[in-house]
Structure 1
Amino acid sequence: MITKLIKEAYPLDLLLLADPSEKLVKQYVERGKCYIAESNEETVGVYVLLPTRPDTVELVNIAVAQHYHGQGIGKVLVRDAIQKAKQYGYKIIEVGTGNSSIGQLALYQKCGFRITGVDKDFFKIHYDEEIVENGIVCVDMIRLAQQL
C-alpha cells in the first residue's frame, strides 16, 4: 500500500465516512493536504493534514473504505500522517474525534497520541443532524496530540 498527495478529485465518499458534513470537509480539504492510500490502484483510505498554528498540524480526517476495515489500514494511515508531519517540520500533531468513536480513540492512543482536552458540545454546535456511533450520541470532541 502506498500513500500519495492529491490536489484534486478528492475521494469525497471516503472523507464523508469520517465527517458527515460535506461543507466542512470541502473547507478543510481546500486548506490542507489530502493523502490517499492505494492498493492495486484502488483508493482504500484517505487522510487530511491541516496546519492550525505555528509548528502544529491537525489530522482532521482519516477514513478507510468500509470493505477494508479491520485490516490495519487505519494504523498505517495514522503512522504515515505522523511521518509526513515530521517531514514538514511540525513539532506537534493533533487529532480530534467524537466521544462515541471508541475504536478511533484506541487507535490514536496506540499510535502515541495523548488526550489533551474536550471541546464540549462540539458536535451539537457544528452539525445539524445527530451523530450516533456505538449506540452513543456523539456530542463532545475529544482532543489528542503528540510531540514529534
Structure 2
Amino acid sequence: MIIRKRNNDEPLPIKLLLLADPSEEIVREYASRGECFIAELYEEVVGVYVLLPTRPGTIELVNVAVPEELHGRGIGKQLVMDAITKAKNKGFKTIEVGTGNSGVGQLALYQKCGFRITGVDLDFFIKHYDEEIFENGIQCRDMVRMAMDIS
C-alpha cells in the first residue's frame, strides 16, 4: 500500500470522506484548508485522511476513512500511523483527533495508536450537524477529543 498526498488537480475523494463525516459542506471546508492523503493498493483507493494545522505546533487528524468492505484489515491503523509520522516530520509537536462518542471502533483504534483522551465537547454533533447520527445503535452526540505528544 502506498500513501500519497492528493494532487490539487485530482478530485477530492468525497464519497470516501463522507464515510467518516456525513456533512459534505463541513468535509469540503476542512479539506480545502488541510492536506488530503490517499492510500492506494494496486491503483485502487483504499483509504484517505486529512491533516489540518490548528494552532502553532499542533495539527489535527480531521478525517480517516476506509471503505466498509475493507474494515478489519489494518488499513485504518496504517493511515493513522502515517499521519502521525507526517505530522512529526513536518515539525508539529502535538497531533489531535476528535471522534464521536458512538464510534466505538474509532475510539479503540486511536487509543491503540497512542492517543489519549483529553476532553469531551458535549453536544458537538447536535449543535453542528443538521441530521441525527447513529453508530452502533448509539446516538452520536459528543466529540471525544484525543491527543498525542509527538515532539
Compute the TM-score of the two structures, normalised by the length of structure 2. 0.97
* Structure 1 partner of 2:55: 53
* Structure 1 partner of 2:4: 4
1:64 lines up with 2:63 in the alignment: no
Give the Cα separation in 2 of the matches to 1:38 and 1:10: 14
Give the Cα separation in 1 of the matches to 2:67 and 2:129: 23
Give the Cα separation in 1 of the matches to 2:12 and 2:70: 19
Of the candidates 57, 80, 83, which is equivalent to residue 81 of structure 1? 83
Per the TM alignment, residue 10 of structure 1 is displaced from its structure 2 partner at its CA by 1.2
SS at match of 1:94: strand
Per the TM alignment, residue 67 of structure 1 is displaced from its structure 2 partner at its CA by 1.6
- 1:130-145 correspondence runs (5 A): 130-145=132-147
SS at match of 1:9: coil
Per the TM alignment, residue 77 of structure 1 is displaced from its structure 2 partner at its CA by 0.2
The residue type equivalent to 1:75 in the other structure is K
- 1:89-100 correspondence runs (5 A): 89-100=91-102
Give the Cα separation in 2 of the matches to 1:22 and 1:10: 11
* Structure 1 partner of 2:46: 44
Structure 1 segments unaligned to the other structure (5+ residues): none
Per the TM alignment, residue 75 of structure 1 is displaced from its structure 2 partner at its CA by 0.2
SS at match of 2:72: coil
Number of residues of Structure 1 aligned to a counterpart in Structure 2: 148
- 1:95-110 correspondence runs (5 A): 95-110=97-112
Deviations 1:108-132 (A, max 9, x none): 0000000000000000000000000
SS at match of 2:118: strand
The residue type equivalent to 2:5 in the other structure is L
Structure 2 segments unaligned to the other structure (5+ residues): none
Give the Cα separation in 2 of the matches to 1:29 and 1:45: 15
Per the TM alignment, residue 90 of structure 1 is displaced from its structure 2 partner at its CA by 0.2
Give the Cα separation in 1 of the matches to 2:12 and 2:92: 24
Deviations 1:47-103 (A, max 9, x none): 000000000000000000122111000000000000000011000000000000000
SS at match of 1:38: strand
Give the Cα separation in 1 of the matches to 2:77 and 2:130: 30
Per the TM alignment, residue 43 of structure 1 is displaced from its structure 2 partner at its CA by 0.4
SS at match of 1:97: strand
